[in-house]
Amino acid sequence: MSSSKDPQSGVPANSKGSWTSFLKSIASFNGDLSSLTAPPFILSSTSLTEYSAYWAEHPGLFVAPTQESDPEKRALAVLKWFLSTLHQQYCSRSEKLGSEKKPLNPFLGELFLGKWDSDADVGETTLISEQVSHHPPATAYAIQNAKHGIELQGYNAQKASFSSTIQIKQIGHALLTLTPPGADRNDPAQQEKYLITLPHLHIESLIYGTPFVELEKTTRIASSTGYVAKIDYSGKGWLSGKKNTFSAVLFKESESEKKPLYTVDGQWSDSFVIKDSRKHEVDRFSVKESQTTPLTLAPVEQQDLYETRRAWKDVATGIEQGNMDAVSAAKSKIENAQREMRKVEKSEGREWERRFFKRVNENDDETFSRLARMIGVTSLESDKTGGVWRFDQASAVGAQPPYHKVGGEGLGVTA
């Protein structure tokens, strides 16, 4: 940015004082930054439960691994699909809104349900996202395509801290399960699993009031067929480099990462190139030329009281209109109702019942434990996510979006 420009050009003139105060409060705050109240211009009308949808906005790439008969090519297709999700997960909001915004903090039990309708070859892909923990906050999700026998489920929490800028550690993981061609999807022994760790991130351009996400450190993907992918992230430095840069390798667990079967390099926000071990280009993916598939939701008036768009409707409207009194009143209504529900549960000696997910003991899943060892995952930090969460398929019967009713009272939302 040129020095001749206003260094706070992203901050509205009437918000410069509150933005400066907000930055000072961040720098001196010791707890979880998500609890801080941000200036109105940086608030988002979108809840974190909606972020689960970013995993599958390219349904064709999501199901592509199930079409590969070679396990090596399947592992490569999984890597390509994962890399294709990064732009939507970490860049699409700042492109659309001009900068990254502070999302709404979900309440316990909040739901986000929808589906992607693709062409006949891909079929329907469904999404169930649920806030499974509030203290600490954690969101769980399940994305399924029954036609191709593939499912992604996982959960994540975010721990934000300040060190020269906002640093965000993502806690949790994703678990992809797919049925290879010719395999019996009803036989777990014939299914493949992929364990995916989550990247850390930090916020750039914070001082200018135009924050955007930059990824850092490493993501790993381990497959039950013995393949490992490693993605290293590096952003634009002071003197050189491009933002959103990454370099990835795919290799056999029994071999060194220095002898990769494939390498992938590029910018996750723009494009990347896949090369084989002889450095021949085998594929190229352009984010800008790849169209996303819109998520279909039930009309707001038909949604359950616990669904995101209905529950936060008045808050979202207030944010979009810049009416912070209305925002405060609508948020307080929900938060007070939630506090009352927790008091009742405590007095009755019971816990809120999750609708679609349940806690599990990760040590009971031998395949998962082996995948974790493959990529050096020694702790799931379940104390920071309220537990280890897995999708309960039986609970979703009759509740597949967008035609569903899941029930719920006492939320503080107009029926």
What pLDDT score was predicted for residue 399?
62
What pLDDT score was predicted for residue 371?
97
Mean pLDDT, 10 residues at a time, over the chain (415 residues)?
45 76 77 69 91 97 97 98 96 84 94 93 96 96 96 94 86 97 91 97 84 93 98 72 91 94 96 97 93 94 94 95 92 94 96 95 90 95 95 80 44 47
What pLDDT score was predicted for residue 240?
53
Q: Where are the beta strands (DSSP E) in 98-191?
A: 102-104, 111-117, 124-134, 137-145, 150-162, 166-178
Say whether 229 sits in a helix, a strand or coil: strand
What pLDDT score was predicted for residue 5?
39
Which residue range(s) make up the domain with 248?
Answer: 13-286
What pLDDT score was predicted for residue 169?
93
Domain annotation covers residue 295: no
Domain annotation covers residue 366: no
Domain annotation covers residue 386: no
Domain annotation covers residue 250: yes
Alpha helices in 242-307 (DSSP H): none
Domain annotation covers residue 331: no
The enclosing domain of 20 has a CATH number of: 2.40.160.120
Contact 248, 79 (CB under 8 A): yes
Q: Show Cβ contacts of residue 415 under 8 Å, excluding neighbours closer than 6 positions.
A: 305
Domain annotation covers residue 360: no
What pLDDT score was predicted for residue 397?
76
The enclosing H or E element of 97 equals helix 92-97
Domain annotation covers residue 337: no
What pLDDT score was predicted for residue 396?
84
What pLDDT score was predicted for residue 407?
44
Place of tokens 């809104």: 97
Place of tokens 């954690």: 138
Long-range contacts of 57-61 (CB under 8 A, 24+ apart): 57/85, 57/88, 57/116, 57/292, 57/293, 57/295, 58/84, 58/85, 58/88, 58/290, 58/292, 58/293, 59/116, 59/118, 59/122, 59/125, 59/145, 59/293, 60/118, 60/121, 60/122
What pLDDT score was predicted for residue 39?
75
Specify the length of the chain in residues.
415
What pLDDT score was predicted for residue 334?
95
Domain annotation covers residue 388: no
How many distinct structural domains can be found in the chain? 1
What pLDDT score was predicted for residue 33?
65
